[in-house]
Structure 1
Amino acid sequence: MTTPTTSDTPIPLQAEPGHLIRRAHQLAVGTFAKTHGKQITPVQYAVLRALQDTPGMDQVTLADRVALDTSTTADIATRLDAKGWIVRELLPRRQRALRLTPEGEAVLADMLPRVAPMYAQLLDALEPAEREEFLRLLRKFVHLNTPTADTPPA
């Protein structure tokens, strides 16, 4: 199905890209909650995974890595610190280095075996070639719509 591109013809709601992206997000978040429970959010999981990959990362770098603004990242770090899953070490110039605690590492160790099956379930309705194409297009969409340091603000 092609989407009309003229402003004369309204796009049906069920074909609007924004609506479809929102619905895909709802499906992904719902599948995540069914799989991992509600004690951790997908964004918190992304923060933990980023810190697992790069221990001691500062909050500004972390915000960039998980595509969040710095104040949201600070709020999430505060919540994860309160849960005992990360520690925040004060660095010069009021920055903070973040690290997983043993409890945070245990949370991830418990979650990781269920991650691949969760995504397989989420994408199960697509044929294998469609899954690959869907993920390729998602990566391209995100990459092309993510500003870089070289991109002037719009």
Structure 2
Amino acid sequence: MKTTPSDLSIELYEQPGHLIRRAHQIAVSMFHEELGRDVTPVQYAVLRMLQDRPGIDQVTLAERVGLDNSTTADIARRLEAKGWIVRELLARRQRSLSLTEEGTRVLASFVSGIHRLNGRMLDSLAHDERSDLIRLLQKFVHIHNDQSRAPVRSD
């Protein structure tokens, strides 16, 4: 049986991977519109985790945010250079990370922008659609966590 290209094709905008990639592009763009370019979404995630877990070691931080260790180390160096975090050497060449006073102030300055960002992302959806979207994204991430090159690990 001979197949044609149309027999093999799948509508691009029905492919979850493509839609997730586009959603990520849009989310990053909206993040920068609200918060500027001084911080990236990943740096923000690191700062938020350090707010919740001051003094966390760098490897555990990577596990909690879903980053590989080398990326986390690079982000930590950048945030330290900005004066937003401090890294302290622990045993076995591990590092403890904490927000500085400046980092705490910067993170606090992001709060209203994050609220606006979340609103912009979700306001066009009905209330039940918003909670469904968040619930389904959380479920997807949880179910497929081990497929990531940097799975999230928690206590």
Same fold (TM over 0.5): yes
Superposed CA deviations along residues 52-86 of structure 1, whole A, max 9, x for unmatched, are 00000000000011100000000000000000000
What amino acid is the match of 2:135?
R
Secondary structure at the counterpart of residue 97 of structure 1? strand
Q: Which runs of 5 or more structure 2 residues have no equivalent in the other structure?
A: 1-6
In the superposition, the TM-score normalised over structure 1's length comes to 0.89
| Larger RCO (alpha carbons 8 Å, 6+ apart) | 2
Aligned residue-pair number:
143
Pairwise CA distance, 1:9: 4.1
Query: Would you tell me which structure has more helix in proportion to its own residues?
Result: 2
Please list every run of at least 4 consecutive aligned residues from structure 1 whose deviation after the TM superposition is greater than 4 angstroms.
none
Map 1:34-113 onto structure 2 (within 5 A).
34-113=33-112
Measured in 2, the distance between the counterparts of 1:60 and 1:118 equals 29
CA contact (8 A) 2:85 2:100 kept: yes
Measured in 2, the distance between the counterparts of 1:116 and 1:85 equals 21
Tell me whether 1:130 sits opposite 2:129 in the alignment.
Answer: yes
Measured in 2, the distance between the counterparts of 1:15 and 1:104 equals 41
**In percent, how many aligned pairs have the same letter?**
59
Q: RMSD of the alignment, in Å? A: 1.6
Pairwise CA distance, 1:116: 1.9
Pairwise CA distance, 1:124: 1.7
Q: Which runs of 5 or more structure 1 residues have no equivalent in the other structure?
A: 1-7, 150-154
